[in-house]
Amino acid sequence: MTRHLKPALTLAIITLILLGVIRASAKPVQVVSPFLYPPYPGFASQGSVFDHSSPNYTFDNKVVAFNGAFANKDCPSPAPAGTPPPQAGVCNAGDGGYWSYGLGDWMWYDGHDGIDFGVSYRPVYAAADADQIMYAGWWDPQNHKINLGIYVRLHHSNGYNTYYGHMSSIAVQACGSPGCTFVPHGEWLGISGTTGNSSGPHLHLLVRNPANKSVDPYGWTGSDVDPWVNNQRESLWAAYPALVYSGSKIFPSGSALAYPPVPTSGLVVDDGSVNFVENPSGCWVSISAGSAQGGVMRYSKPRNTASTCAAQWNLPQGSNAGMYSVYVRIPEIKATTEGALYAIHHADKTDQIVMNQEVFPNGYYVSDGWVYIGTYNFTGAGDEYIELTNRTQDEAATIADRFVGADAIRFVFLGDATQTPPTPVSVTPTFTPTVTRTPSNTSTPTNTKTPTATRTPSPTFTPSKTRTPTATFTPSRTATSTRTATATFTPSKTRTSTATVTPSKTRTSTATPTPSRTRTPTRTPTATFTPSRTRTPTPTRTATLTRTSTPTRTPTSTRRPTLTPVYTLIKVYFVSNYRYLNNLPPFERAGARYARSNNIYLTLLNEYFKGPGITENLSYGWIKLTNGFTSYSKFELINGVANIYLKGICNRGNATYTIANLLTYNFKQFPEVKFVKIYDENGSTQDPSGLSDSIPACLQP
């Protein structure tokens, strides 16, 4: 070998060695098969994004979404391409929300490690098949204001974990190691809420990879390198959750899942019946309550130490052996504990769930007070029961002001305890948005109400009375348990404002006599434009396939959607609280709502007085202006003049921009409205007949 070839050969060898070292140390491309499904029924409002810049709750003054959209706390200089903020130079909305020039909207929030879905006190589903329930309960039973509050953590066979935060009740229990259980996606885990570090009811979905790093389930589609090095590029969604949007669309949307079937019968064991026991006798205080089963309930003062009082609802001896779904009746009064502990004694084992009684019943999903607490195997041997004591998981600072309420338990027989093999049927993966601009008024799906071993039945949607105490006569106590359906209540006006967009309709389900183990949520969308259980116009392309969480040989049917009525997309304007308080006009912010074409103006007024949705209020910081007015008594449109008669007690305070300005702004979005006249509670306005806008004297600055 010549002298000149030796250095070249040496260099080539060194190069090959270095390339081998680089390749050996290079991080392999991560490929993850999609495995997540929608974690809730119906539609949710789009909430806070996963912050790819710093998903660890440390503020770095920047928010980056999965699609590369970004927002900065301080407006860049020079300004980038896109839409500038409404107020020049102001890109900080407060609370970690910043302006995105690319989206032309606000993004929340800096440091967020999950995805927020706007669902108010609605069922929460397992987002993926799980082989272990790692935790179910309070993050800290003695501090209800931190972290995820009441949450469920699932382990999946691919090594990922999913967390479901801020819940109000749970219906599952933790077990020891992977393989200890099988939870199919779509399994009902509990009810969403606002426990922990939360400013309003929603579902916080957190996904962690096998290395225990928080990741974005939507993956990364940005053109640049993902700033979060732990994230996978692929979307983890096998089917996207169904969403509605109040501002810029960030996440894609999929088809809505159906709500759990509504139980219409069951064995009800009321307090005071022959199958109810209190120990020691008389330790509970018995009172009349119109919202209680049979008109009577019991209550006790809670304690954090050993219990001194117990209530026991027995499943009667000789009852059918098999699977039962169990519901707890929560009255509107004297049930305010945040940590009621229910023990389910069944088939020689004991399970326990925790519930925040204070939020039930409500105007969202559990309107009749029946809260689902899980599905369990009972033998009918006579030694099985549900137990509630006065030992709770309430904070020491508030426990003295709370009560534990005890009323009734409903056992719904589902069928033989033999479980269907755990191979859930999946919906067809969808990776493109399916919500159309033309909503359809989808009829309520027919739910299979068979006495079968379903894992996720639900409480009824029948509205109930409000939490206002109502004195009633003391009814006679039933001597035996009843197997008939429980009584529902006529809807009444409530003092508690709800975040619904339109008045909800009662969902009615029908029963079929054929046993099956089908939960049968359908994929027919049941849209709501805020996190609530409304049955509003449903964005849908067509009737879709029935989604079954577990296989069954017994076919079930779903009622086809009705024809699409004519709807119009309108804007409902609220104000930015941040801009309003800091006098930074323009204050107005537009939320999208659908209205029947023959009822646009009344829909606008109804939606305005309902106020912003949960995400609009909590994430975007929008508010409605009322100035003492609570609603309207009459609306007329005559020759281009909109006459709005308000109800309430006028109180302008020191405001110069009032409800009159905002309602006028709302109605002038319609070309046919030339002038707007606002009348006070006495029917007065300053210029009732002139061709001009007019406001009452009480709102004049």
Which of 507-516, 609-618, 624-633 has the lowest average pLDDT? 507-516
**Do 361 and 289 share a structural domain?**
yes
**Do 272 and 251 share a structural domain?**
no
Amino acid, single-letter form, for residue 327 = Y
Most distant CA pair in the chain, distance: 113
- Predicted pLDDT at 514: 33
CA distance 142 to 532: 29
Range with top average pLDDT, 334-338, 424-428, 476-480: 334-338
**Do 206 and 320 share a structural domain?**
no
**Domain range for 409:** 267-415
CATH at 372 = 2.60.120.260
* Residue 461 reports pLDDT greater than 80: no
**Do 388 and 278 share a structural domain?**
yes
DSSP SS3 for 661: helix
* Residue 567 reports pLDDT greater than 80: no
pTM over 0.85: no
Domain end position, chosen among 493, 519, 552: 552
**Confidence bin at 467 (pLDDT 50/70/90):** very low
**Confidence bin at 334 (pLDDT 50/70/90):** very high
Q: CA dihedral defined by 40, 43, 48, 54, rounded to 10 degrees?
A: 50
- What is the tens place of the pLDDT at every residue in 254-273? 999 999 988 888 999 999 99
Tokens of 348: 């020689």
Tell me whether residue 342 is in a domain. yes
Residue 265 DSSP symbol = -
DSSP SS3 for 606: helix
Range with top average pLDDT, 23-32, 156-165, 419-428: 156-165
Average pLDDT of span 9-15: 57
- Predicted pLDDT at 416: 80
- Predicted pLDDT at 14: 58
- Predicted pLDDT at 596: 75
- What is the tens place of the pLDDT at every residue in 619-653? 678 899 999 999 999 999 999 999 999 999 999 99
CATH at 208 = 2.70.70.10
Q: How many residues does the chain have?
A: 701
Given a contact cutoff of 8 angstroms between Cβ atoms, the answer to whether 689 and 679 are in contact is no
Residue 2 DSSP symbol = -
Average pLDDT of span 590-605: 85
Which of 11-15, 103-107, 442-446 has the lowest average pLDDT? 442-446
* Residue 439 reports pLDDT greater than 70: no
**Do 391 and 283 share a structural domain?**
yes
Domain end position, chosen among 370, 389, 415: 415
Helix, strand, coil share of the chain (percent; to 5) = 10, 30, 65
CA distance 573 to 104: 17
Q: What is the DSSP string of 92-104?
A: EEETTEEEETTTT
Average pLDDT of span 205-226: 97
* Residue 558 reports pLDDT greater than 80: no
- Predicted pLDDT at 594: 73
Residue 294 DSSP symbol = G
Q: Which residue has the tokens 């391409």?
A: 81
Distance of CA 74 to the CA centre of its chain: 32
Given a contact cutoff of 8 angstroms between Cβ atoms, the answer to whether 577 and 611 are in contact is no
Tokens of 244: 């509605």
**Do 404 and 284 share a structural domain?**
yes
Tokens of 598: 């023959």
Burial class (CB in 10 A: 0-12, 13-18, 19+), 25: exposed
Average pLDDT of span 666-680: 95
- Predicted pLDDT at 566: 53
3-class SS letters over 330-373:
CCCCCCCCCCEEEEEEECCEEEEEEECHHHCCCCCCCCCCEEEE
Given a contact cutoff of 8 angstroms between Cβ atoms, the answer to whether 530 and 615 are in contact is yes
CA distance 216 to 530: 23
Q: What is the mean pLDDT of the chain?
A: 80
Closest of 187, 143, 152, 159 to residue 37, by C-alpha: 187
Neighbouring residues of 90: CB distance < 8 A, sequence distance ≥ 6:
75, 99, 584
**Confidence bin at 16 (pLDDT 50/70/90):** low
**Do 377 and 315 share a structural domain?**
yes
Average pLDDT of span 664-678: 95
Average pLDDT of span 340-361: 97
- Predicted pLDDT at 614: 66
- Predicted pLDDT at 384: 98
- Predicted pLDDT at 17: 53
Tell me whether residue 22 is in a domain. no
**Confidence bin at 31 (pLDDT 50/70/90):** confident
| Rg of the chain (C-alpha set) | 28
Task: Evaluate the omega torsion of the peptide bond into residue 586 and state whether it is cis, within 30 degrees of 0.
Answer: yes
**Do 539 and 609 share a structural domain?**
no
* Residue 534 reports pLDDT greater than 90: no
Given a contact cutoff of 8 angstroms between Cβ atoms, the answer to whether 286 and 371 are in contact is no
**Confidence bin at 417 (pLDDT 50/70/90):** low
Tell me whether residue 548 is in a domain. yes
**Do 124 and 249 share a structural domain?**
yes
**Do 162 and 137 share a structural domain?**
yes
Domain end position, chosen among 381, 415, 449: 415
- Predicted pLDDT at 599: 85
21 phi, psi to nearest 5 deg: -65, -45
Tokens of 292: 């209680």
- Predicted pLDDT at 591: 86
- Predicted pLDDT at 261: 86
CA distance 610 to 612: 7
Tell me whether residue 67 is in a domain. no
Tell me whether residue 388 is in a domain. yes
Neighbouring residues of 56: CB distance < 8 A, sequence distance ≥ 6:
111, 113, 214
**Confidence bin at 588 (pLDDT 50/70/90):** very high
**Do 580 and 695 share a structural domain?**
yes
- Predicted pLDDT at 451: 34
The number of CA neighbours under 13 Å toward the Cβ of 188 is 28
Q: β-strands 132-138, 97-100: how paired?
A: unpaired
Average pLDDT of span 353-359: 97
Q: What is the DSSP string of 303-315?
A: BSSS-S-EEEEEP
Tell me whether residue 250 is in a domain. yes
Average pLDDT of span 274-282: 96
* Residue 147 reports pLDDT greater than 70: yes
Question: E strands of 508-617, at which residues?
Answer: 538-539, 567-576, 588-596
Q: β-strands 567-576, 622-623: how paired?
A: antiparallel
Helix or strand run (H / E) with residue 22:
helix 5-25
Tell me whether residue 343 is in a domain. yes
* Residue 438 reports pLDDT greater than 50: no
Say what percent of the chain tops pLDDT 70.
74
Q: What is the DSSP string of 532-578?
A: S-----EE-SS--PBP-SS--SS----PPPPPPPPEEEEEEEEEEHH
Please report how the helices 659-667 and 600-610 are oriented relative to each other, as an axis angle in degrees rounded to 10.
150
**Do 187 and 39 share a structural domain?**
yes
- What is the tens place of the pLDDT at every residue in 63-108? 999 999 999 999 999 999 999 999 999 999 988 999 999 999 999 9
* Residue 465 reports pLDDT greater than 80: no
Tell me whether residue 1 is in a domain. no
Burial class (CB in 10 A: 0-12, 13-18, 19+), 506: middle
**Confidence bin at 12 (pLDDT 50/70/90):** low
Q: Which residue has the tokens 């860049």?
A: 76
- Predicted pLDDT at 200: 87
Helix or strand run (H / E) with residue 218:
none
CA distance 62 to 211: 25
Say what percent of the chain tops pLDDT 90.
66
The tally of domains found in the chain comes to 3
Distance in Å from the first CA to the final CA of the chain: 99
Q: β-strands 629-638, 641-648: how paired?
A: antiparallel
